[in-house]
Every structure is written in structure tokens, then in C-alpha cells.
Chain A
Amino acid sequence: MLGYKCTLHGEVTKMASIDSALSAELLPMPSPEIVAQLRRNISTIHRSYRPRQGQKFPIDIPEVMDLFPGGQLPYGSIMEWFTETHGTEAESLSLRIGWSACLRNRFLVIVDPCFEIYPPGLSQLGIDLNRVVFVHPATKSDMLWTIDQALRCSAVGAVWSYLESLDPINHRRYQLASECGGTVGIFVRPLRARKESSWAEFRLLVQPVAFPAGEIGSQCRRIQVTLLRAPGLSEPIVREVWIDDPADRLLDIQRVEPFQRRYQYQKNRA
């Protein structure tokens, strides 16, 4: 059978043929005008779905910016942060990245049905609460709708939420919504959701690292950040982040390496 496949980028490729002679009679080659018209149509669709394609925002956290290509993240994308439990620094890091997306007076929308995100804690992270809106939906359906609406609004920089479960249909819906609004969807999710199919462009795993007994005197907090998925990423990238406690400032980030070297580095900094 002969057929033609149009890719999203407007390329027309010839598919494998079983009986080329028969197929050629049934499906004649399209004229160059038709191909050109199809390319134009596809390009129009492409542009309409990605109005902010190419717009990126720099990550204000220098220690983790090298995880992402160019230290920047694109608008119109979804990020998923996986963590085993609360208190692993995944929420703080993701919120700070969300705040980085709020350039040019855009707003950060936090969808928190449990009323648990603590504004004084956000203020200590350097987030300006005057440009943060907290939405507290009462039901799951309200929550899903709220995220979709916020992602579609171009006045919003990022939408942050903790999502226990998310079906692929809503995930796809959010991806299209973020493309439409040019916003960033940041979802913190439990570790078990890692196995689910996802439309997220970026997926990260945050794992706390227990502090060795010999380092009790240090004020730093160790976590391991793994970039599981990103455009063009062939294999996961693992980084270790040191956080200066209790002021919650990121102190350093390096690849996982022998502890002695890290200890020496720490001493040098001190």
C-alpha cells in the first residue's frame, strides 16, 4: 500500500509500499501546489498552537540552571517534579523556578486545595506575594478546571500545583493550554506517578540525601536532582544540590562525586 505521511513540520514523506504498482494507480502523487498548500496549512496550525514558541525565561537559580539547555526554560511547557514525600525540597525548588517564569509583571498561580502552602515560607524564598494568587478549589473537577484556565491566560507566568493523580487526557489538555497561553505548568507529584504516561516536556526527580554523621556541624542540606526527561536528553542527568539551611539559599551544585572531595570543597568555601 502506498501512502504519504505529513509530519507536524510540514514534511511529506513517502511511506513503505507493499504493492507500488497497484497503489500508484489508487493514490497518485500529489501535485507540488497541493504539497505547498498542505505545508502552509500545517505551518499555520503550528503557529497558532505555539504563539510564544521560542520565548524562554532564564532560571534565577544559578546552581540548577546548568541542568537545562542554555540555563533557560521555554514558555508553553509542562514540568513535573517527582518526590517521595513532602519536605524533600522539591516544592521549594519548583516554586522558585515557577517564580522565575513570572517575568514582565506576570503572575504566579498556586492551586492549593488543602490551604497548606504557607505564604511566609514563600516570602522567605524571595517570592513577591503581591504577584502570587492562591486558588483553593473545593473539588477535584474544580481543581482541574482551574489549572486549565490559568494555563491559558497569558498574564500568568507559571501555574504550580501538587497533583496526586492526573490522567493522560487532562495532561494533554494542560500541555495544549500552556502552549496556548505561553505559560509554564509546574506540577509536583508523588513518586509513583513517574510510571504514568506524560505530556510533560521536563520531568525531574528530587531525592533527599541523608547527611553523614561526621558532618553534623554543617549547616547544609543535601538533595539529589535527576533530570529524567528534557528535549534532546538521551540519558538522565544527576546533580547534587547543597542548600544552605536554614535560610534556604542554594549553596552549591555539583555532580555526584566522592564525599571527601565535597567535604574539601565545603571547607574551602568556609
Chain B
Amino acid sequence: MTFSGWNLSNAATSTKKTGHNHASSPGLQEDDVRKRQDRLAEICLRYTPHVGLVEDPHSDSLFLELTDIQHLIPDERRFVIQLLMDCHREGYFPTKIAVADTPGAAWAMTHFGTGPRATEISSAWILPPSESKKWIASLPVEALRIPDLVAEWCHELGLHRIGDLIHFPMAELRKRFGEILVLRLEQLLGSRQEILSPYLPQPQFEEHLWLEYPARSWEHLSPSLSAFLKRLTQQLVSHNVGALGLRVNLLCEDHSAVTLSVSLFRPSIDPHHLSGLIELGFRQKHFSSPIVGINAVVSHVAPLESHQATLFPDGETDWPSSEWGHLLERLSCRLGTARVCYAVLNPDHDPEKAYFWYPCLSHRKSHKPRSDGKALVTKGPRPVRLFRAPIPIQVVTAIPSGVPYQIHHQGQSHHVVRWWGPERIQTGWWRGESITRDYYRVELQNGVHYWIYRCLESGTWFLHGTFG
């Protein structure tokens, strides 16, 4: 083995942050993990200059190369305690750490380790070089970072643990399971080197400016802001990225601050464009006193895009591609990102939860979910207008659980001419918001179609929507 006989010569420490889960939005979780990794990397960089990443199915780990700093670490256990304390002090709790010969072994222990841990440290494993193979052997094959399909094949053949695989010749394993299993196994055992790619935290793009004279209006602020944005965009140009999100804090004379958020459709480095969008938000705000300072932070960046200009419009569209983005940017800057959205259908029987809003200018890394008509889990008719809060109405029925015969709404009485239903919707018990309703589509004597329901628990009726 390349690193055998080296006490801590190639120890890899994997830190895993757990306990924070934004299950509803995987994209946000990814962003969140990235931000945490940035901060965690800053902490780790105090100990070693080599903080890196390897191929990781969960993308939630950092690897510290300790080979070159072994003379600075006389006691591994104290080193780990110190690192854990630093992490906890910064709010990273719980954090798992493993010190091992190879990055693969460290990753396996932090994700699947259940064996004895280092004394007095509940979330750390320090694998002595001579015993690491024994510790790893008891871990499941998933700890090899192999695809799920390959892991399934292993289980089908009764190879549940890494120890079951170690005894087989590599050539046999390669023939049966492919290259990936052999690669991971060799990396785990240290017979093949695994390169750490250095972890580079996102550069921070930020500018501050104290105005020479307090600005009372946009016209006063605009010249200073233009120069200010020019400096900020120059920072972006030097990194070949454009701003996708910008947060501008305007500091007032009375020490209050007004924050303007700018979201963009495409990465931009055009100060005039950014200034125009900031103006839209600025004019919607009220300032209690003159503005004395500006602070801007680029919250989201993306690589700059370049497109080949075309002489003729393509066959699919007859409008410039930038127009749509500019409209969304203007609307989002003035109204707020959450008020300009796509609707995405959600396979849920609860009418209020059968869709959700997805902001058009969301900076989540995941793509916008496609809204497919197949997501509608019901074949029943749905109204075009659904009231945000169901309106209580009085309904006359022949028998208590019967069909609607007459409706009293807004002081008027309407006969029901025809009705369709009931469509029983009984769902949501697992959310703690159980609903049990019988929905009817009714046609009143004046020809209007309503969507009404009876709450089966209370027996009361509600108008929930209108058809057309």
C-alpha cells in the first residue's frame, strides 16, 4: 500500500454536517450545504492548507490532508477534539469526523461507522493504520461509494459487507461488477491513490460606499450608485462571472437601513442594467431620512454566458430571447420575487395543496419542476377560481346528509337546478390537517356554476370556487 507504515502520514479527516434538512426543497438544501461547506472550510483551513473534496455521492463532506502537517499534530485525539470544539463553537453540531489512512475509509466511517469510537469523543473515529482494515471490513458495501445498482448486485450475491469483497481477486470482481467497485475498493484500501481536488470557497463580491453628501432622491443617488456598481461589476468580470442576485443595503442618516433585493434571469455585469433594476425597487421604498451609505453584496453568481448572434429568428420563437428575462427581472424587482411565479401541479388530493408556486427567478440550483397535467391525481372537475378561504354558506338539503337543494349566499337565495357529485376528498391525516369533504358542482337557477362542499366533521357547507 502506498501509505502503509505511515502513522498519520496520509490521514484523511472527513467532516460531515448533519441534522439540517430542508426536505421540501432539494435545491435549497444544496445551496444550504454549499454555504455551510464554505464556512466549515474556513474553520478547517486554520489547521491545514489542504482542504479538498473527492467524489462523494452526498456532497456533504470535506477532506483534510494531514500528510504534511504531522509534525504539528502530536496527538490525534486532541487534534480531533480541538477541531470538533471549533466546529461546535461556530454552530456546526453534530459533526462527524474520522481520521483514516485513505479518504475512502474516512468517508465510510463518517457515513456508516458504528463501531467503537475514540475515547471521550462521541462523533469521531480514529482508525489506527494497523487496524483500519478490520474496522472497514464490517461496514456495508454502500460505504464504498458505489452506485445503488452495483450495491444491489452485491446483496443479491450475498456480499453484504466490505469484508466479504476483500477476499476476492480484483480481476473476478471487475469481471462481475465492473470497474467502479474495484476502483472504490482499491481507493479504500489505499492501493490506488485518490486525488483531493482543492476546495475553493466562492469569492465574496461586496462593495461599500459612504456618500459625500446625503442623498434624498434617486436622482441624487444615481450618479454615485452607477460608479459604485461599476466597481462591483469589475470584480465580477475579473472572475468571469455575472451577478444573478444582488442585495443592496441603503444606510440612512438615522442609522436605519433599507434593503433592496435584485434577482436576475441571466448573469449580468452591466452596471446600467443593475442600476435600472435597483431603481424599480428604490421607488417602492420609503426612506425615513437621507441616505448616507451604500453596501452591496452579490448573493448569487453564475458563469457569464455568451451566445452566437443569429441573423434570422429561429423557427420556434419570433421574439428576442432577452425580452422575457427582462420582463421577469423588472416584475420581480418591483413586486418581489415571490409574487412572480410559475404554478407547479402537486399530486395531492387536497385542493389547496394540488399545486404550489415556484418563483420565476429562483436561484436554486435545481431546475424548475415541470408542471405536467398528469400530476393531477383526480379526474373530477376543478374550478378556474378557487377562493383562498372557503366562504361559509347555508344550504338546504332534503335530509341531513343529502344533496344541496337551495343555497343562501350574500343575502340571496338560489335554487340548485342541477348538481354533480359528491366527490369525496378525505386526505391529509399524516400532516395533522385532515380534511373530510364532499364536493358538489352545482348549477344555480341563474346559470352560475359553483363548487361547494360539506365538511363531514361539522356538517357545515362552504363555497370554495367558481367554474369559469
Binding site for B on A (CB under 8 A): 85-93, 95, 104-107, 114-125, 128-130, 132-138, 142, 145-146, 149-150, 153-156, 207-211, 213, 216, 221-223, 245-248
Contacting pair A87 B467 (CB below 8 A): yes
Decide if B447 touches A121 in the complex (CB within 8 Å).
Answer: no
B360→A133 contact, CB < 8 A: yes
**Contact status of A121 and B334, CB under 8 A, knowing A208-B446, A223-B447, A246-B420:** no
Chain B min CB distance to A232 (Å): 27
Contact with B345, one of A116, A119, A213, A216 (Cβ below 8 angstroms): A119
Closest to A218 in B: B418
Q: How far is the CA of A118 from the CA of B380 in the complex (A)?
A: 14
* Distance, CA A146 to CA B318, complexed state (A): 23
CA distance A253 to B240 in the complex (A): 60
Interface contact B386-A116, CB-CB below 8 Å: yes
- Closest CB-CB distance, A238 to chain B, in whole Å? 15
Cα-based distance from A125 to B382 in the complex (angstroms): 10
A138 to B446, CA, bound (A): 33
CB distance from A151 to the nearest CB of B (A): 10
Question: Does the CB pair A221–B443 fall under 8 Å?
Answer: yes
Contact of A120 among B370, B382, B467 (CB under 8 A): B382
Shortest beta-carbon distance, A110 to chain B, in Å?
A: 9
- Pick the contact of B320: A91, A120, A154 (CB < 8 A): A154
B342 in contact with A248 (CB, 8 Å): no
List residues of chain B with CB within 8 A of the CB of A136.
335, 339-341
Instruction: With CB as the reference atom, state the residue of chain B lying closest to A52.
Output: B318
Q: Is B227 in contact with chain A by the CB < 8 A criterion?
A: no
B354, B382, B387 — which one has the most chain A CB atoms within 10 A of its CB?
Answer: B382
The residue on A at minimum CB distance from B352 is A118
User: Which 5 residue pairs are nearest across A and B when measured between Cβ atoms?
Assistant: A208-B447, A87-B466, A89-B468, A119-B343, A92-B468
A-B contact pairs, 29 of them (CB 8 A): A86-B468, A87-B385, A88-B468, A91-B468, A92-B468, A95-B384, A104-B317, A104-B318, A107-B324, A117-B385, A118-B355, A118-B382, A120-B382, A121-B383, A123-B382, A124-B376, A129-B345, A130-B370, A130-B371, A133-B360, A135-B331, A135-B335, A135-B340, A136-B335, A153-B324, A210-B417, A210-B445, A210-B446, A248-B381
- Chain B residue nearest to A126 (CB atoms) is B373
Q: A114-B388, A129-B371 are in contact. Are A120 and B376 (CB under 8 A)?
A: yes
Contact of A137 among B339, B355, B448, B466 (CB under 8 A): B339
- Chain B contributes a number of interface residues (CB within 8 A of A) equal to 55
Tell me the B435-468 residues at the A interface (CB within 8 Å): 441, 443, 445-450, 465-468
Q: A87-B468, A106-B319, A149-B331 are in contact. Are A134 and B448 (CB under 8 A)?
A: no
B331, A146: Cβ atoms closer than 8 Å: yes
For A246, the chain B residues whose CB sits under 8 A away are 380-381, 420, 441
B381 close to A88 (CB less than 8 A) = no
New contact pairs (9) apart from A92-B467, A129-B344, CB-CB < 8 Å = A89-B449, A104-B319, A118-B383, A133-B340, A134-B340, A135-B339, A137-B339, A142-B335, A247-B381
Contact with A along B357-386 (1 / 0, CB 8 A): 100100000000011010010001111111
Q: What is the distance, in angstroms, from A42's C-beta to the closest C-beta of chain B?
A: 27
Which B residues are within 8 Å of any A CB, using their own CB? 316-320, 323-324, 326-328, 330-331, 334-336, 339-345, 351, 354-355, 357, 360, 370-371, 373, 376, 380-388, 417-418, 420, 441, 443, 445-450, 465-468
Residues of B within 8 A of A93 (CB): 468
Q: Are B342 and A149 in contact (CB under 8 A)?
A: no
Chain A residues with Cβ below 8 Å from B326 are 153
Q: Is the CB of B468 within 8 A of A90?
A: yes
From B340, B384, B417, contact of A92 by CB (8 A): B384
* Given A118-B383, A121-B383, A211-B447 contact (CB < 8 Å): yes
Asked whether, in the complex, the Cβ of B384 is within 8 Å of the Cβ of A123, the reply is no
C-alpha spacing A128/B373, complex, angstroms: 8
Q: Report A-chain residues with C-beta under 8 Å of the C-beta of B340.
A: 133-136
In whole angstroms, how far apart are the Cα atoms of A234 and B7 in the complex?
A: 97
- Report A-chain residues with C-beta under 8 Å of the C-beta of B417: 210-211, 213, 216
Contact A129 B447 (CB under 8 A): no
Return A186 CB to nearest CB of chain B, in Å: 13
Q: A106-B319, A129-B344, A210-B446 are in contact. Are A117 and B327 (CB under 8 A)?
A: no
- Given contact pairs A116-B385, A146-B335, A129 touches B342 in the complex (Cβ within 8 A): yes
Residues of B within 8 A of A207 (CB): 447
B318, B384, B418: most-surrounded residue (chain A CB, <10 A): B384
Q: A90-B468, A105-B317, A248-B381 are in contact. Are A138 and B339 (CB under 8 A)?
A: yes
Contact B319 A132 (CB under 8 A): no
Is the CB–CB distance between A155 and B319 below 8 Å? Answer: yes
Whether the pair A210, B447 counts as a contact (CB closer than 8 A) is: yes
Across the interface, which residues of A come within 8 angstroms of B357, CB to CB?
134
List of A residues within 8 angstroms of B351 by Cβ: 118, 120
A213–B360 Cα distance when bound, in Å, is 48
Distance (whole angstroms) from the CB of B289 to the closest CB of chain A: 24
B385 A123 Cβ-Cβ under 8 A: no
Contact (Cβ within 8 A) A86 B385: yes
Q: What residue of chain B has the Cβ atom nearest to residue A116's Cβ?
A: B385
CA–CA, A264 and B112, complex, Å: 75
Q: What is the CB-to-nearest-CB distance from A223 to chain B, in angstroms, rounded to a whole number?
A: 7
